[in-house]
Amino acid sequence: MNYRDIIYETDGRLAYITLNRPEKLNALSNNLRGEVMDAMREAEHDDEIGVIVLRGAGRSFSAGYDLTPARAAGEVDLVNPRSLLPETGTTHPGQQQWARHVVMTNMTIWELAKPVVAQVHGHCLAGGTELASICDFRIVADDAQIGYPPVRAMTTMDMMWTPWHLPPAKAREFAYVGDSISGTEMARLGWANYAVPGDQLGDFTDKFARRMAHIDNEMLMYSKRAVNRQYESMGFREGLASGTEIQGLSALRPAASEWGRHVAEDGLKGALEWRDGPFRDFRGAYESAPHERAVAGTEPEAADGPNRGQY
């Protein structure tokens, strides 16, 4: 299969899926996400493959969902021709269905027969955290920046993974404020299995995956399934599904339309600076960002309807 936005490679018992939009910090377009899930199924089908490594080309794992029109670009092969979204078995008609679609797409990895190791470096933000969190393991660069800044002004998390991976207080902090947390701290909190220096990340991940690949495929499949079903008995699926409904409601609050207004008036980069300015991180670290601004909803009335996106 010839992919446009990812690279698929195999080496012995390992398959490598590399997000390959480095000029966009591997922003998650619909086509890229469709290609990732197709490559996951390709690796699952290959009896020679025991473990899958998911990683990003360039400076980052992924800065999140693509906010530009490129996210929904047509004339691509690995999206549903009706919805232009990665295939999940439904076209997700109606308003505020994005989060439901995200969760259903990511659950492909949850149900995959083979373990997936996320190799995380640079930025791992918003949708990037969701993609990494649904993997079985996460190995991170110690200086990786992991966060969810859209919760500052846009909507709640699309996939509410934090209560399942973080202690309660930190789960709330991550989901409420979206601040950048280092790879070292995320390993200490239990989200990542290991945090290592960036120049050792590839070798460490490779050794970790190859060690696991000594185990036969069916044993790995049953081990993964046994663990997954325990989480499901505790409400994992229901929890993520309910989170998508709350995300839809959060997109309808009056202040949500401010994001769309800033995109329309200032462009995407300007809107990101407005969102992150008071926090002085991500785009808010730029000198042009408004480090002091009104709380969303207290500014002049925005254009009708929220303009939903992710970073």
* Whole-prediction pTM: 0.93
Q: Taking the alpha carbons of 200, 41, 133, 164 in that order, is the dihedral positive or negative?
A: negative
pLDDT at 75: 55
> What residues are paired with 119 via a beta bridge?
139
176 by DSSP, 3-state: which?
helix
What stretches of 201-296 show up as alpha helix (H) in DSSP?
Answer: 201-212, 217-233, 236-250, 257-276
Instruction: Assign 3-state DSSP to the chain and report helix, strand, coil percentages, each to 5.
Output: 45, 15, 40
Please, which contacts does 167-175 make with residues 24 or more away whose CB atoms are closer than 8 Å? 174/147, 174/148, 175/148, 175/151
Which domains does the chain carry? 6-226 (3.90.226.10)
- Does residue 308 carry a pLDDT above 50? no
pLDDT at 76: 64
DSSP E strand stretches across the chain: 6-11, 14-19, 51-56, 116-120, 123-125, 137-141, 145-147, 181-182, 194-196
Q: Model confidence over 141-151: pLDDT tens digits?
A: 999 999 999 99
Q: Which of 6-15, 64-73, 133-142, 280-289 comes out lowest in average pLDDT?
A: 64-73
Q: Above pLDDT 70, what percent of the chain? A: 94
In angstroms, the CA 198 to CA 120 distance is 9
DSSP E strand stretches across 100-257: 116-120, 123-125, 137-141, 145-147, 181-182, 194-196
Please, which contacts does 68-71 make with residues 24 or more away whose CB atoms are closer than 8 Å? 68/27, 68/268, 70/29, 71/27, 71/28, 71/29, 71/30
**What type of residue sits at position 280?**
R
Phi, psi of 121 (to 5 degrees): -145, 165
113 by DSSP, 3-state: which?
coil
pLDDT at 305: 42
The answer to whether the beta carbons of residues 131 and 54 sit under 8 Å apart is: yes
- Does residue 3 carry a pLDDT above 60? yes
> What residues are paired with 139 via a beta bridge?
119, 194
